[in-house]
Amino acid sequence: MRMVCLLMLGGFFLTARAQEQVIAQLQLTETVPAELLASRAVVIYDPSFKKSELDEIQKSFAQTGIDAVLYIEQDVVFAGKDITLAYANHLATREIRFLVFINKPAATTYRMITTAFNNKPSLVDAEQGAWEVSASSLREMLDTANRNAWISQKKQNFLINDIPETTTKVNPITGKRAEFFSLDLKADEMAVPYFNDATLDSALKKVFTEIYPFKYKLVSPATDDAELRKKGSILTLCVIHSRGSAAKKILGYDLTKAETAYASTTYTEALPQVKTIPAETPVYKFYIKHIPSGNIFLGTKWDADVTMEQALRNHIKGYKAELKME
């Protein structure tokens, strides 16, 4: 059995390298999925793809009969647990039946993997079949996909958009967003999901042991909000890992001013400093969610950083500075 790292099943999401893919088990085959040319699909693509390449993909799909009604960047879909859940719900409402992953695993390689959408937050089921096509050029990959699809089934999708839809915004915030800290942290124990990654989990525990001043409990990342609430938690730590520009957009920050880099508040010791991070650099951004209301607390400053440990330190130290605990 051949496996590809795409999604992490079981309801948890490893945020490290999320812009590339999270872990899943798909059985790769050369078989075109049944009903592909009669159903709706979504394209989840590498953000390094240019608009001209997306246009070429959509034009080829329209000729083939693949009705790709939406294009989403990979690091947006997999930016965090709540974001993936929001997109899964959105795809279900749009009656999406297939997921088409398109990326560039190497400088001279293009790869397309198509599999069924399971209408669940996990997006796919373990070991389900997936059709793989790869080539040294985008044109060759698309031509191969077109040829194999037409050999296997009859085209039934005809009214397909010529231009890829890339502007749909899915809001993962179910409550209100606040650019300040939650005072409830002083009284209520916070649920802190670990990552199921030895390096990240070690850093997570280190930071909380060293500098977090209130009650918390580590929980499995597979635990959903309903279960956390049932076990008594009303607050949970959340994290996004994506390009800074994508993270800001997801969390509802003002992006009307075009910026190539963002000023982030970071802490080396007790004193805050300003670090400039390019907008397209992958960063971690922590925030707190109030589970019953869905309200999120982002903190008073943009405190994202390139490593999980530093981003977490920034957020906790920023909170302590607001409370004048430093």
Q: Is 200 exposed, middle or buried (0-12, 13-18, 19+ CB in 10 A)?
A: buried
Q: Are strands 190-193 and 235-243 parallel, antiparallel or unpaired?
A: parallel
The rounded distance, in Å, linking the Cα atoms of 81 and 245 is 18
User: What integer best gives the mean pLDDT of the chain?
Assistant: 89
The angle at the Cα of 274, spanning 212 to 16, to the nearest 5 degrees, equals 60
Below-50 pLDDT ranges, the chain: 1-16, 18-23
The rounded distance, in Å, linking the Cα atoms of 267 and 207 is 13
CATH of 26-152, one of 1.10.12, 1.10.3470, 3.40.50, 2.60.40: 3.40.50
Quick one: pLDDT at residue 108? 85
Which tokens hold the place of 192? 């802190």
Task: State the alpha helices, DSSP H only, in 153-286.
Answer: 198-211, 225-230, 244-250
Q: Element (H or E) spanning 101, and its range? A: strand 96-106
- Say which amino acid occupies 285: K
The rounded distance, in Å, linking the Cα atoms of 52 and 34 is 29
Q: Are 187 and 234 in contact (CB under 8 A)?
A: no
% of the chain exceeding 70 in pLDDT: 92
- Say which amino acid occupies 96: I
Q: Which tens digit of pLDDT belongs to each residue from 148-189?
A: 999 999 999 888 988 999 988 899 999 999 999 999 999 999
Instruction: Give the domain ranges of the chain.
Output: 26-152, 177-322
Rounded to whole angstroms, the maximal C-alpha distance in the chain is: 68
Quick one: pLDDT at residue 324? 84
